[in-house]
Copies of this chain bind each other. A is one copy, B any other.
């Protein structure tokens, strides 16, 4: 069972991922990737994270058909980190039973046929969730918080576009798109977990 979770900023996607991992007894993959890459390259973890999240577009396309090898030979440091993240994701997927939030994992792990979730919510729910959970966000005005959300989602979309031919958030990329508006994630997760269990039972 391999699950990928993509999500709009503020929709509770990370919490969905963590709680699903607990519920379904899967390895939640997140920090390990950054830590490994940071150690290998003698870089600070937050620099690695930042570089990976920015989704900088290199000069040449990253995907030729479905293979990515071409790009691994580039000297560009972002490309190097992204390429390593990609190979690490596959190493984790090879071990099986894991859940990965973000990182275009649904496309990178396409050959593993993961269950692909997209989590989203309406603007007011996302604002409310951010205010409640993010100490950094408390000081921001609604307007600034909304701008921050848009910026982060647009970074995610850009990053995703390096790997996928469809747009980030386009429902056709996913098996299930879940609107978390007005919900506590802890209430929704058991329902999603049941859905996934059943899905795997009937999945050919």
Chain A residues close to B by CB (< 8 Å): 118, 120, 122, 169, 171-172, 174-179, 182-184, 187-188, 190-192, 194-195, 198-199, 202-204
> Contact: A198 with B190, CB < 8 Å?
yes
> Contact: A171 with B179, CB < 8 Å?
yes
> Contact: B182 with A204, CB < 8 Å?
yes
The list of the 7 closest CB pairs from A to B, nearest first, reads A177-B177, A187-B202, A191-B198, A175-B179, A171-B177, A171-B171, A191-B195
> Contact: B174 with A179, CB < 8 Å?
yes
> Contact: B122 with A172, CB < 8 Å?
yes
Interfacial chain B residues near A203, Cβ < 8 Å: 182-183
CA distance A195 to B118 in the complex (A): 16
Instruction: Contacts A171-B179, A174-B179 known; list 10 others, CB within 8 Å.
Output: A175-B179, A176-B176, A176-B177, A183-B202, A183-B203, A187-B202, A191-B195, A191-B198, A194-B195, A195-B195
Minimal Cβ-Cβ distance residue in B for A113 = B182
Interfacial chain B residues near A120, Cβ < 8 Å: 171-172
Interfacial chain B residues near A190, Cβ < 8 Å: 198
Minimal Cβ-Cβ distance residue in B for A8 = B172
> Contact: B118 with A171, CB < 8 Å?
yes
Given known pairs A194-B195, A195-B194, A195-B195, the reply for A179 and B187 (CB within 8 Å) is: no
> Contact: A199 with B194, CB < 8 Å?
no
CA distance A172 to B199 in the complex (A): 23
